[in-house]
Every structure is written in structure tokens, then in C-alpha cells.
């Protein structure tokens, strides 16, 4: 979940890496560091705890010399957030420098072996074993590249690693399970955990596969080797259609509000699927004997909504499973099973593990993903793209609604109603525009003022509004740190209603279809002193605060979540928190 970037070229490496780290900070922001190689001064390192910009003001990354370098922004796994635990880490002989994303699962055994051979350790991290293990292999007479290959082969777990060696103008890298992508420029090359890190410099990329070993050398060549096959391999070159403007905030104070506002376009882009691929996926669903939606977090909530939509539109039952729990269903899978994996990044480790479990049973894999060339994209038999461009805020907003749009269109296609599904999504344009307008934001700001000091918020819904209640609670708690829980309206009286007291806020999602029953649930809360916030097309006398969203039937999950995305953002800002970088969270969960 850390952000890593490497550069080799003719320009100042530190400046390029520093700007890349700022764009990767959504992947981790506990600490950061840069190492650069200068032909006269050797390798210099600067690192500390805190945000990238704050560290730069303190240490001045931009004063570092050299045209080769690596940089890292950390999301802590092993060890506290300390300067000693920040990356890069160095070998005992001070010649090998490493940055790392992932977990070395067998680091304790490696560390014990190295200590037995006289190595000392100065951090609490698993990463520090890597440069020392490379040094250990070099002591056997191997060169840097071979020693790193042999060291990496000894590591268990998922990782992405960049390493430099004193006196050698090159960067070596390896990947297993954690994302890496190479950027190709003119007389310069890049390697990073995500494309936005170098997007302003190049849109030409090569995706790194699992068990690849890469060398970026001083002649601006990029060589790929397979650690499994023990030989050089070729990887295709791709061109990405993202723009640097999409990865910048523009006139917005935060990426979160920028990306909420972009949903006017992103829902429409998501609906513009390649028809041949869409119909192929629809046929695969119809032919399968058992269909599973597999996802995590917000993507899981999108899948849960989609299971209702498939039931209503396509008259089909879809199994929806949390990716982290999917292996428990492995014995049920057959070659006739279809697994549809949904992920923004395509690098979520639990989703990739679920796909691996499905592949062991020869099940067919479909992905719904935002990143072409990601691990999930490459692992799939077919892929439907979200087409949202980069989503920088840690929280999912525009990719969540894009997932809902793709899944709704897919349900209509399975039912033989493709044109109807596309027309329904096109109709949302003006509705989403109004829901993200300044007047709507001002209205919701008044609600945020009322809720900002609350300790608990509950959200309820029935039918299609139940997954929306779950997603609403997730958005509120992950960015404002107010405890929020979502429930089916019918479940409140089975225990949770005991927590309702005078003034407890409850957001009630309803539609024409569910209104009668959910209003009864809301009345039960109100009778116990609850403060009722209604999200519906029509006001109701029991609502203390009303958010109007036009009733658009099975697409209500898209329109009804947008005001709560705005509310979550405003709660975070009012409470003094950075909505783009919520504590303890990172954009892409690449560790278990």
C-alpha cells in the first residue's frame, strides 16, 4: 500500500521523484524518503516521518544531486511510524539502497540468518532484510543484478522492490503481487507503483508481471527477466489515455470534491462500453452455472446493489462474496462457474487472491476495473473498463458510481434490454449535475454543521437502498471518523435500536417502492428521540432534514449516494481532517 517511484535519465532525479511522491501520497503518508545517485557524491538519502511536502520543507529534497533515484511514501505495516522505519533502507556496507511495497512474510527467518552472519539491524521493518540479503549474496562473488535476483527468490509474500547500488547507474526492480509499471520516455525511464507518478512525463507504459525482474540501465534500456523461467522476456508497450489534468486538483480544494463533481461525466463514460465485449460478458453470464460477484469495500457495496438489479431486471440470482472470504467457497466452484471481480485499481490483494482461487478450479474470470494492464485486467478472460481516469482521493466516489453504471448496463444487456439500459444511464446526466451543484452543496453543508460534533450516525434502507445505507456509513466513517453504521431497516429492532437516544442522527434512504416500510422504521427511531434525515424524491413530515433526489428506479443507488459523498466530505473539512488522505487508509490495499 506504499507508493514507490524510480527515475533514471538526464534530469534532476530528486525533483521528478518528489513530484511523483506527491501524486502517490494517496498510497501512504506516514513517512517518505528519497535516495539519489550522483557520480561524484555517491548515493544520498533524505527521509523522515510526515507528509511529503512537510518533509521537503524540513529536509529540502530538491537540493539532492544526481540523475538516478528512488523514492517512497510509506503506509506502515511492520514497525511504528519513525524515521528509522522510513524508506529507503540501506545494507550494512552502506552501498545497497532499497524501497519496498508489500510484506516479506519470512523476514524473521531471513533476519535471524543474517544476524548469525554478523549483520546488524537498525529498524523494525521487514524491508531492511532485503538490502542486507542482497549484500549477503554479493559477498559470494555475485554482481548486483544476480545477487538481487537470488535474494528476491528467497522472499515469501507479496512485494514490489526497487534497489540501487553505489557506483552503478541503474535501478533494479522486482514484483510479486504488488503493482509496478514502467514509464518509457526519451533518454529517461520511470518505474512506479501507479501511473500518475510519472504521467506528466510520459503516457507510454509497460506493465510489470508477477515474478518479473526489471533492469533500468544507464543506456535507457529496460530489460525484463522472468524469475521463474530464468530468462529475458518481452512485455507489450501500452499507451494510456489519462491526462495530467485529470490527476490534478484544478480549482478544487481537494481531490474528493473534484472527483464527486466529475460524476456527471464518469457515469456517462462508464456506460460507453465496447458492445462486443459487453455482449460477450452478458452471454457468459447467461451460460454460466453459478455467477459470483467478488469485491472489497465500496466495490462490494456496488456488487450488492447489482445483485438486486440483476434480480429485478434480468431475473437472475447472483452470489455476492467479500473477496477476503471467497476462498471459503472454492470447493463449490467448477469450470462452469463465472467469477466477476470488481476493483478500481485491479491490484487489490484480496480480489487477486479470490481470482487465483477461482482459476485453480478453472472458473471463467470477468473483471470490472479502471486500470488497463493491471493484475486483475491481465488475469481476466474478459474485462469491462470503468473509464473514469485516475481517482486520487483515497475514498471511492466516481469509481463507485461508475461500477454501478457498468453493472446496471450489464444487467440490462443480459435481459436483452441494452438500449433501454443505456438510455436510463444517459437520463442521469442532468440529475447528477444538479446533485453536485453549488446549491446542493450549500444545502448539505447546513446538515454537516448539525452533525459535525455527533459521535454516532446510523443509516438505513430497504431493497436497493440497503446497500446504499452500507456505502453511506462507510463514506462517513472513513473520512470524518464519526462512528457510522448501515442497516437494513427491518434489522434495527433486532438489536441496534437499543443504541438510539435523544438526538441520534439516522439517514433514511427510501424510494417509491420501499417508502411505506422504511418510513415505519424511521418512525420507530423518531419515537425514541432520533433525528431523521430523509433521502427521497418526496419529503415526509417525519423528516427533520430532507435531501431531495429524483426517483430513478433501479438507478437510485447512483443518485442517492452522491449527496452523502458530499456530506462526508463536508464533515471531514468541518472537523479539520484532510478528506483526500484519511488516517490509516490507503487507496490500493495490496497487503493482507
**Same domain, yes or no: 160 and 281:** no
Which DSSP string corresponds to 273-315? --HHHHHHHHHHHHH-SSEEEEE-HHHHHHHHHHHHHIIIII-
Active site positions, annotated: 2, 587
User: Positive or negative, the Cα torsion across 146, 151, 152, 154?
Assistant: positive
Identify the segments of the chain with pLDDT beneath 70: 1, 242-250, 585-592
Task: Return the residue matching grid coordinates 501520497.
Answer: 25
3-state SS class at 221: coil
173 shares a domain with 83: yes
Cα R_g (the chain), whole angstroms: 25
- Could you give the CA distance from residue 37 to residue 164 in angstroms, rounded to a whole number? 8
> Which pLDDT belongs to residue 407?
98
CATH of residue 197: 3.60.20.10
Q: CA–CA separation, 43 vs 559, rounded Å?
A: 53
Task: Give the relative orientation of helices 398-414 and 418-435 as an angle to the nearest 10 degrees.
Answer: 160
Q: Are residues 456 and 428 in the same domain?
A: no
**Please, which residues have CB within 8 angstroms of residue 528's CB and are 6 or more apart in sequence?**
497, 500, 501
Residue 365 lies in a domain: yes
Pinpoint the alpha helices (H) of 102-238.
107-116, 129-138, 144-152
CA 138/CA 141 separation, integer angstroms: 5
CB count in 10 Å sphere of residue 440:
18
* Whether residues 148 and 8 fall in one domain: yes
Domain boundary among 393, 412, 434: 434
Residue with cell 514502467: 182
Q: For residue 14, give the nearest of 52, 71, 59, 98 by alpha carbon.
A: 71
Alpha-carbon torsion, ordered 245, 184, 402, 561, to 10 deg: -60
31: β partners: 49, 74
A 10 A CB-CB count for 15 gives 14
Do 321 and 421 belong to one domain? Answer: yes
User: Which CATH number does the domain housing residue 462 bear?
Assistant: 3.40.50.10490
pLDDT tens digit sequence for 89-133: 999 999 999 999 988 999 999 999 999 999 999 999 999 999 999
Contact 58, 48 (CB under 8 A): yes
Name the one residue in this structure whose C-alpha cell is 429492532: 493
pTM of the model: 0.78
pLDDT digits (tens, 9 = 90+) for 218-240: 899 999 999 999 999 999 999 88
Confidence at residue 72, expressed as pLDDT on a 0 to 100 scale: 95
Is 68 inside any structural domain?
A: yes
For residue 556, the enclosing domain spans: 437-578
**How do 189-192 and 3-8 pair as beta strands?**
antiparallel
- How many other β-carbons are positioned within 10 Å of the β-carbon of residue 372? 19
Kindly state whether residues 165 and 151 are assigned to the same domain.
yes
What angle do the packed helices 263-271 and 418-435 form, to 10 degrees?
Answer: 170
Tell me the C-alpha distance between 547 and 437, whole Å: 13
Residue 265 lies inside a defined structural domain of this protein: no
Are 415 and 466 members of one domain?
Answer: no
- The cell numbers describing 220, all together, are 535507457
Structure letter (DSSP) for residue 452: T
Q: Do 187 and 330 fall into the same domain? A: no
DSSP 151: H
Q: How many domains does the chain have?
A: 3
Amino acid at each position: 500500500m506504499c507508493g514507490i517511484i524510480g527515475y533514471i535519465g538526464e534530469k534532476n532525479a530528486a525533483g521528478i521523484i518528489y513530484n511523483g511522491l506527491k501524486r502517490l501520497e494517496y498510497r501512504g503518508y506516514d513517512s517518505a524518503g528519497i535516495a539519489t545517485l550522483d557520480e561524484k557524491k555517491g548515493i544520498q538519502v533524505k527521509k523522515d516521518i510526515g507528509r511529503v511536502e512537510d518533509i521537503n520543507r524540513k529536509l529540502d529534497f530538491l537540493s539532492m544531486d544526481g540523475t538516478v533515484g528512488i523514492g517512497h511514501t510509506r503506509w506502515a505495516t511492520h514497525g511504528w511510524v519513525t524515521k528509522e522505519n522510513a524508506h529507503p533502507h540501506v545494507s550494512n556496507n552502506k552501498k545497497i539502497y532499497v524501497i519496498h511495497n508489500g510484506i516479506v512474510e519470512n523476514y524473521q527467518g531471513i533476519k535471524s540468518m543474517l544476524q548469525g552472519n554478523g549483520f546488524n539491524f537498525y529498524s523494525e521493518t521487514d524491508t531492511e532484510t532485503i538490502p542486507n540479503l542482497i549484500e549477503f549474496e554479493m559477498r559470494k562473488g555475485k554482481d548486483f543484478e544476480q545477487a538481487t535476483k537470488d535474494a528476491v527468490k528467497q522472499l515469501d509474500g507479496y512485494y514490489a522492490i526497487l534497489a540501487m547500488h553505489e557506483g552503478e547507474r541503474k535501478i533494479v526492480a522486482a514484483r510479486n503481487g504488488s503493482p509496478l509499471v514502467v514509464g518509457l520516455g526519451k533518454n529517461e525511464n520511470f518505474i512506479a507503483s501507479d501511473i500518475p507518478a510519472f504521467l506528466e512525463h510520459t503516457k507510454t507504459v509497460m506493465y510489470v508481471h508477477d515474478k518479473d525482474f526489471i533492469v533500468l540501465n544507464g543506456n535507457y534500456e529496460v530489460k525484463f527477466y522472468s524469475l521463474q523461467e530464468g530468462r529475458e522476456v518481452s512485455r507489450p508497450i501500452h499507451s494510456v489515455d489519462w491526462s495530467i489534468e485529470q490527476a490534478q486538483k484544478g480549482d478544487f480544494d481537494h481531490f474528493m470534491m473534484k472527483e464527486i463533481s466529475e460524476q456527471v461525466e464518469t457515469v456517462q463514460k462508464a456506460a460507453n462500453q465496447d458492445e462486443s465485449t459487453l455482449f460477450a460478458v452478458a452471454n457468459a453470464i447467461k451460460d454460466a452455472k453459478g455467477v459470483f460477484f467478488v469485491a472489497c469495500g465500496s466495490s462490494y457495496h456496488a456488487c450488492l446493489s447489482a445483485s438486486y438489479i440483476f434480480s429485478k431486471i434480468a431475473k437472475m440470482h447472483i452470489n455476492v462474496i467479500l473477496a477476503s472470504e471467497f476462498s471459503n467457497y472454492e470447493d463449490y466452484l467448477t469450470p462452469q462457474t463465472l467469477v466477476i471481480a470488481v476493483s478500481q485499481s485491479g491490484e487489490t490483494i484480496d480480489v487477486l487472491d479470490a481470482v487465483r482461487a477461482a482459476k485453480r478450479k478453472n472458473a471463467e474470470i470477468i473483471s470490472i476495473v479502471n486500470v488497463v494492464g493491471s493484475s486483475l485486467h491481465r488475469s481476466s478472460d474478459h474485462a469491462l473498463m470503468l473509464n473514469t481516469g485516475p481517482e486520487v482521493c483515497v475514498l471511492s466516489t466516481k469509481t463507485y458510481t461508475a461500477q454501478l453504471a457498468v453493472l446496471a448496463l450489464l444487467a440490462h444487456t443480459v435481459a436483452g434490454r441494452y438500449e433501454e439500459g443505456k438510455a436510463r444511464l444517459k437520463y442521469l446526466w442532468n440529475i447528477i449535475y444538479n446533485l453536485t451543484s453549488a446549491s446542493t452543496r450549500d444545502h448539505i453543508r447546513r446538515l454537516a454543521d448539525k452533525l459535525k460534533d455527533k459521535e454516532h450516525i446510523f443509516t438505513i434502507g430497504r431493497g436497493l437502498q440497503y446497500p446504499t445505507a452500507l456505502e453511506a456509513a462507510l463514506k462517513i466513517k472513513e473520512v470524518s471518523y464519526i462512528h457510522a453504521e448501515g442497516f437494513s431497516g427491518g434489522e434495527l429492532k433486532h438489536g441496534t435500536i437499543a443504541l438510539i437516544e435523544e438526538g441520534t442522527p439516522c439517514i433514511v434512504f427510501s424510494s417509491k417502492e420501499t417508502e411505506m416500510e422504511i418510513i415505519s422504521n424511521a418512525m420507530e427511531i423518531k419515537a425514541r428521540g432520533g433525528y431523521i434525515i430523509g433521502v427521497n424524491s418526496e419529503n415526509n413530515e417525519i423528516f427533520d432534514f430532507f435531501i431531495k433526489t429524483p426517483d430513478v428506479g433501479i438507478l437510485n443507488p447512483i443518485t442517492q449516494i452522491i449527496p452523502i459523498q458530499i456530506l462526508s466530505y463536508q464533515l471531514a473539512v468541518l472537523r479539520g481532517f484532510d478528506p483526500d488522505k484519511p488516517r490509516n487508509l490507503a487507496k490500493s490495499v495490496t497487503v493482507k
